[in-house]
A and B are shown apart, each in its own frame.
Chain A
Amino acid sequence: MLVSWDWLKQYVALDMDREELENRLAMSGLNHEGSEPVGNDIAIDLEVTSNRPDCLGHIGVAREIAVLYNQALTLPSPQPDTSGPDVNANFSVSITAPELCPRYTARIIRGVSIEDSPPWMQDQLRTVFLPINRDWKPINNVADITNYVLMEAGQPLHAFDLGKLAGGQIIVRAAEQGEQFAAIDHREYVLQPEMCVIADGAKSIAIAGVMGGAETEVSEQTVDVLIESADFTAMSIRATSRALNLQSPSSYRFERALDPAGVDWASQRCCELILEHCGGTLDAGVIEAGKSTWQAEPVVLRLSQIERILGIKIDTEEVRSILIALGNAESASTAESITVIPPSWRRDLTRECDLLEEIARIHGYEKIPEDVGVPMAASFRSDEDRVAEVIRSTLTATGFDEALTGSVVPLAWTDQFNPWTTATPLRTISPMLLGADALRTSLTPSLLEVRRINQSLANPAVELFETAKIYLPQAEGLPQEQKTIGLTSSGDFYHLKGVIESLLAKLKITTPLSVADAGEEFDGLLDNQQRCTLLLGDERLGFLGQVSKPGLKAFSLKTAANVAELKMDLLVSLATLIPQHQDLSAFPAISRDLNVVLQESVRWDQLQATVEQAAGEALEVLGYQETYRAPDQDGANTKRVLFNVKFRRADATMTGEEADAIRDAIVQAIAANHNGKLLGV
């Protein structure tokens, strides 16, 4: 809201320093956005919150100043002469859409002469309109007066050329589907039934509260004018203004709860100024259709609440004088409370807490202390937070950067790769970023997109992880938001698997990690061979795999990448956050290396199970070393697996003979379970 310094002076003495006033207004609720000279005047830009439409006119701002500086407020009290015939005799207004327009009033002035508005008015209007529209020019005396009253009282008005209105009537109705309208900006608008229009006996003449029509606007030929002052429904105006992308000072104000008393006041003020500056005679009375349903209700302020909510004591007389200065009428009071009836321009004051805010902001928030002793309280760190920290520290230590990527992705990504759900993803009605309207069901595509971006920047090492939610639709209710860790690495399958194993070790997860075949749901993005489902115990932890060639192509990636996703809540439930001490054996360990020849089909996890079972308690470490193949010596479809075992006893030094015996047991078990044999035996 731009206000003119000269204009404000009409209502309140401005003998204070302007910058001091601007600061004071900012500290009491009208945030100062800036000031600039316009001609010999100053335009002051004040931010008005949506609960204070009373400050969308100069009078409201002047009232705030008067209260803050304890000054008198001088307001016009319009009493236009009504020398014409009864206005209701020749014209009628009807409202057929009361849900869009509860109240509509009209006054008629006949025989006006259309000229330029007076220079002082042009100057003041220029101050408040030129800074936001550099092409702004005064129009004519009638149009300028309606704008002047708009900026004075905050009540929008419209002047119609009465001679162009057909049928001696105005009908306030809902627009027809697809109705066309030529507005005052000389553009055509297509209307919808949710929009309110003003029509004459023949057709629509204005989009209610938003913009008038070109045909009925006041021009140099105009002789008689009809002044509209009405109350339109805020939601309807907002929807119309948005739908037509048509914002005007009028629509901006109608979107807020305007002063019901302002409708008639502004109409009379406008007529008074027209009679004064344009001549003519005002028809007697007013055409009224509908009525305002708003009624001021008394509000009780219990004085005890001041200290309870604001944390300070304020003298009761000061409280009373603040409330009254703001326009409240004291209706009943006791030693413990003050009851007031708020003014019609403050429809936001309906509850005790609203009055407390008024007292606080006028008394001054700077008087509230910032050093009271807030009692201490214990705070708790969630397991998830603790686990998240271990994840971050481990993954950054293993060379991974943390990425943050958007929750909403292109639908093509969720179509291509949907590892966690078979349900179709949820969509946002409007896209978040260009083409992105699907709530992601996997972190992998987002991370591959980040790989692509880094590839285009020629960044050599791209090791990334992200901890974020994916959104898995449920049959009903809120979707399941699954906190997931996504990983992508330039390293191979076993590198990324090793990173995951290190993470599990850091989280002290003792539940064994195992792998299972990954299903068809991975076909879109992952290699057919190098991929697996990861399990912790019987629970699915996630997946790991190499991005397939078509997958790389889909994200324009030139080099190989491996990806994985892990379910966070499973890690949280299995992590050991308070590890317990175990007695350590003081006796030396003894190691044996084994090199066994096995059928290609024997997997490491099978061999591992056999070794662990055969070795028993003494086995401290089973370390895989390598696999190689010598088909000439061992036969087709065979492999040699090298591994190391380390034994230790808790109660005594293990002898070489004992170690050899365990090793022999392992070899026998491998022979029995897998038909494998120790190399060279």
Chain B
Amino acid sequence: MALQDFLDQLDELGTAAESAFGDAADTETLEAARVTFLGAKKGRLKSIQQQMGSIEREDKPMAGKAFNATKGRIEAAFEAAQQRSNNTDSDSVANAQFDASLPGATFRCGNVHPITQTIEELKEIMGRLGFSIVDGPEIEDDWHNFVALNIPDDHPARDPLENFYLATAAASSGAKDPVGLLLRSQTSTVQIRVMEKTAPPIRIISLGRVYRPDTADATHYPMFHQIEGLMIDTNVSLADLKSVLRLFATSYLGDDVTIRFRPSFFPFTEPSVEADYYWNGQWVEFGGAGMVDPNVLKAVGYDPEEVTGFAFGLGVERLCMRRHGVTDIREFYKNDVRFLAQF
């Protein structure tokens, strides 16, 4: 073999090896390249070395020198590639291909319904004020929804058109037989149930779904949520009510607010008031409240001469709508997942 041919082959091999090691993007390709060029049995460097035997004797020192230079060149390229590979995470793409701005692999996280979020916040605040959360049935009898709440037989609140009374359906005729039950129209029913089986003092929050036959529109829905508070003790007054509502509103709004009472009328409280809070330069309706009517205390077996108490009730949807800028109550019950994802 002519010396020049041998030298050309060496040069070509060196260039090819540098290129292969330089391009190796991961350890696997690098290893494959190493086997190709530096493999102990069948590597290309090895095979070119075997060709040295056919070089003329006088050319051999020159060829040997050139071989060693190329070998050093290839080994250096390999070491450089190996070094680079060690600096990069295993199996990762080459620096040139890495794009930190590509979107991450996201997890889909669900959302708690805004009404539940509001309820949980209100519960949490009232819990800090010493009120425990109680639950009760949504289907109620006459006693708990009306009689014990001092709502007499002739009160308009009992009107069939104001309530969802229940019936069993006669399968054949389709006629409905009233069963003396109704979907509760207020969560005060739970207060009665708690007082019936618990001696004072009482400090509770009842909340949940209530039902009133309103035609669904932007501000009405026949099903909504109420949160009601009740505090009964030996010495509870309207001043306690106002103070608790102020703490409640201040905690909810995150700033000191003031409370205003306007006279109102509810069968189960006397005196009855509408409570407003002053926020952002205006009075905002908070909810109905008052001192528990002595007839209610008597109905559950308490002595109005021994204990007094206050009660208040708030509409959860209204608070939630105002807080989050929701303008149509029906959105809450449509459950468009894009709507739910906003909260």
* Chain A positions near chain B (C-beta within 8 angstroms): 26-29, 31, 49-52, 234-235, 238, 242, 255, 307-312, 351, 353-354, 356-357, 360-361, 365-366, 368-374, 376-382, 384-385, 389, 392, 395-408, 411, 424, 426-430, 432-433, 439, 450, 453-454, 457, 459, 461-465, 468-469, 471, 473, 478-479, 481
Contacts and interface: CB of A to CB of B under 8 A. Distances in A.
B139 A439 contact: yes
B324 interface: no
B282 to A, nearest CB: 14
Contacts of A397: 109-110
Given A370-B258, A429-B165, 15 more contacts: A235-B154, A308-B308, A310-B239, A356-B270, A360-B271, A374-B247, A379-B131, A381-B133, A382-B134, A401-B113, A402-B340, A404-B115, A426-B179, A433-B222, A461-B108
Interface string B290-305: 0101100000000000
Contacts of B164: 408, 428-430, 432
A354 B290 CA distance: 12
A397 B338 CA distance: 17
B335 A450 contact: yes
A361 B336 contact: no
Contacts of B140: 478
13 contacts: A49-B265, A308-B237, A311-B242, A312-B239, A365-B273, A399-B108, A407-B223, A408-B183, A426-B179, A430-B164, A439-B166, A457-B338, A465-B110
A366 B120 CA distance: 31
B165 A396 contact: no
Contacts of A361: 263, 271
Contacts of B183: 407-408, 428, 439
A402 B138 contact: no
Contacts of B169: 411, 424, 427
A450 B335 CA distance: 6
Interface of B: 107-113, 115-116, 120, 123, 126-135, 137-141, 153-154, 156, 159-161, 164-169, 171, 176, 178-179, 181, 183, 201, 203, 209, 211, 213, 216, 222-223, 235, 237-240, 242-247, 258-265, 270-274, 291, 293-294, 308, 332-338, 340-341
Nearest to A464: B335
A345 B338 CA distance: 56
B156 A402 contact: no
A426 B130 contact: no
Contacts of A426: 139, 166-168, 179, 181
B242 A369 contact: yes
A371 B243 contact: yes
A401 B110 contact: yes
A463 B110 CA distance: 8
Contacts of A403: 113, 335, 340
B190 to A, nearest CB: 12
A461 B337 contact: yes
Contacts of B179: 426
A368 B203 CA distance: 21
A481 B131 CA distance: 24
Given A309-B237, A399-B110, A31 B262 contact: yes
Given A381-B133, A428-B167, A430-B213, A372 B270 contact: no
Given A365-B260, A368-B238, A427-B176, A453 B334 contact: yes
Contact of B203 (A28, A354, A377): A377
A429 B127 contact: no
Contacts of A424: 168-169, 171
Contact of A311 (B159, B168, B240, B341): B240
Contacts of A369: 239, 242-243
Nearest to B107: A399
A432 B109 contact: no
A428 B183 CA distance: 8
List the 8 closest A-B pairs by CB distance, nearest first.
Answer: A311-B239, A311-B237, A377-B130, A357-B271, A49-B265, A29-B263, A365-B261, A396-B110
Interface centre among A26, A376, A427, A479 (most CB of B within 10 A): A427
Nearest to B216: A433
Nearest to A469: B138
A374 B108 contact: no
A465 B274 CA distance: 36
A402 B263 contact: no
B191 to A, nearest CB: 16
Contacts of B120: 389
Interface centre among A29, A310, A392, A404 (most CB of B within 10 A): A404
A357 B271 CA distance: 5
Contact of A432 (B171, B222, B261): B222
A311 B132 CA distance: 24
A546 to B, nearest CB: 21
B265 A309 contact: no
Nearest to A449: B335
B127 A381 contact: yes
Given A311-B240, A365-B261, A464-B335, A398 B166 contact: no
A356 B238 CA distance: 11
Contacts of A401: 110-111, 113, 335, 337, 340-341
Nearest to A398: B110
B240 A374 contact: yes
Contact of B166 (A357, A385, A405, A427): A427
Instruction: Pick the most buried of B140, B238, B246, B259: most chain A CB atoms within 10 A of its CB.
Output: B238
A406 B127 CA distance: 28
Contacts of B333: 404-406
A160 B118 CA distance: 58
Contacts of A404: 113, 115-116, 332-333, 335
A382 to B, nearest CB: 6
Contacts of B270: 351, 353-354, 356-357
A670 B128 CA distance: 57
A478 B137 contact: yes
Nearest to B332: A404
Contacts of B209: 407, 468-469
B120 to A, nearest CB: 8
Query: B126, B129, B159, B243: which has the most chain A beta carbons within 10 Å?
Result: B243
Contacts of B131: 379
Contacts of A464: 335, 337
Contacts of A381: 127, 132-133
Contacts of A307: 237
B337 A368 contact: no
Contacts of B274: 31
A385 to B, nearest CB: 6
B161 A242 contact: yes
Given A370-B258, A372-B240, A401-B110, A481 B137 contact: yes
A427 B337 contact: no
A397 to B, nearest CB: 6
Contact of B109 (A380, A389, A396, A457): A396
A309 B291 contact: yes
B269 to A, nearest CB: 9
A362 B321 CA distance: 34
Contacts of A396: 109-112
A382 B133 contact: yes
A439 B223 CA distance: 13
B25 to A, nearest CB: 31
Given A308-B308, A370-B246, A453 B133 contact: no
Given A377-B130, A398-B110, A401-B340, A406 B223 contact: yes
Contact of A379 (B113, B132, B240, B272): B132
Nearest to A360: B271
Given A311-B237, A396-B110, A459 B166 contact: no
A459 B339 CA distance: 11
Contact of B335 (A432, A453, A473): A453
Nearest to A369: B239
B187 to A, nearest CB: 14
A357 B107 contact: no
B203 A379 contact: yes
A100 B293 CA distance: 30
